[in-house]
Amino acid sequence: MISQKSTRFTESVIRGMTQFCIRHNAINLSQGTPGFEPPEEVKRAAIDAIQNGYNQYSITWGAPRFRQAIAHKMATFNGIPTEPDRNVTVTCGSTEGMMSTMLAIINPGDEIVIFEPFYENYGPDTIISGAKPVYVPLRETRTPEGDYQFAYDSDELRNAFSQNTKAIVLNTPNNPLGKVFSRDELQEIAALCCEFDCLAVTDEIYEHMIYDERPHVSIGALPEMRDRTITISGLSKTYSITGWRLGYVVAPEYLANAIRKMHDFLTVGAPHPLQEAGVAALQLDPAYYRQLVERYDHRRKLLLELLTEAGFRCYVPEGAYYIMTDISAFGFPSDTEFAHWLVKEIGVGGVPGSSFYSHPELGRTKLRFMFSKDEETLREAGARLMRIREKI
């Protein structure tokens, strides 16, 4: 008696690994939950909002002050002119923002281009919305410095577009790889969107976590993409408030109207007092973002060193707070078997790489770890990982 759609995907592998870590008392380096408290002024603003009566529904698509703060941030940081009443929809996290967007733009037979490996939600999003996914691989390459990175092939990307293409989904910085799409890459993608008259849907939730002085470029800031880009982001990662479920979608008015209707009947609205506190978050001093990058960059380098010492081959992330690794050297038949063994025998959790691919076999030799933890926790994880060789 269940729907066919519900049989075509599993529960979240990432969140399942968190439960597995809890069950075995392992250090959880799987789910991307920041191990830090939100800024004190943001927490105080949430408490004040509750005390001051912001406890009933806000406007469905977002509290006015919060939408105004988002519009200002989009114009000044992302370079996208934004009107709070016409372009901004506040959602229950960027996850709901993506789902509302897909439901708003997809018709039967529409194709969606997705780079893989991809954040695991994108697969079920296409099934639920009825889209046909067309996957373009991000292939392993070597930089002049000898590091392993990922890039798409221009011919493969072009061949993925057709008269049925409705949109391309971009995640920059990318989860799970940490790839940051360059301006040149985005301009190439924009040219294809214009040629095939389709949309770009961008997930930019990690936009404030980019390393080595790389810039964050929003494809919606390109002049030719202003009317064909839907930009999705949120406050969860940047301000360590994943449990608040504050996301937003910025789109041209004709698209925003459709997205708002889907959002309204999916969730009605995001928590009102937390939206009011979101204003305080978006008004933090620029020094907060510099310190954020410094904190995460330190942990990125630390976990890269610890994983390498333990025998993992690491892909150096350019952004976000994940490290994808190659586990071939450990000799396990699959990533899932290794991930479960690692939790039970070593006491450290990661995410099987196969969960990020349309064809699971492509990720059988990969495991993703996150480094949004305090330094003591990461060092303890590193000490445990050093025991792998003793046990296999």
pLDDT band at residue 276 under the 50/70/90 scheme: very high
CA angle at residue 139 from 305 to 155, to 5 degrees?
A: 155
- Domains of the chain listed by start with CATH number: 5-31+287-391 (3.90.1150.10), 55-282 (3.40.640.10)
Residue 371's pLDDT band (cuts 50, 70, 90) = very high
Mean pLDDT, residues 248-261: 98
State pLDDT tens for residues 60-82.
Answer: 999 999 999 999 999 999 999 99
The predicted-structure confidence for 111-133, as pLDDT tens digits, reads as follows 999 999 999 999 999 999 999 99
pLDDT score of 210 more than 80: yes
Question: What is the DSSP-derived secondary structure letter of residue 345?
Answer: I
Question: Residue 119: exposed, middle, or buried by beta-carbon count in 10 A (0-12, 13-18, 19+)?
Answer: buried
Whether the predicted pLDDT of 145 surpasses 80: no
Stretch 307-325: mean pLDDT, rounded? 97
Give the pLDDT confidence score for residue 324 in this predicted structure: 97
Query: Residue 144: is its pLDDT beyond 80?
Result: no
Q: What confidence category does residue 385 fall into, taking pLDDT thresholds of 50, 70 and 90? A: very high
Contact indicator for 103, 127 with CB cutoff of 8 Å: no
The pTM (predicted TM-score) of the whole model is 0.96
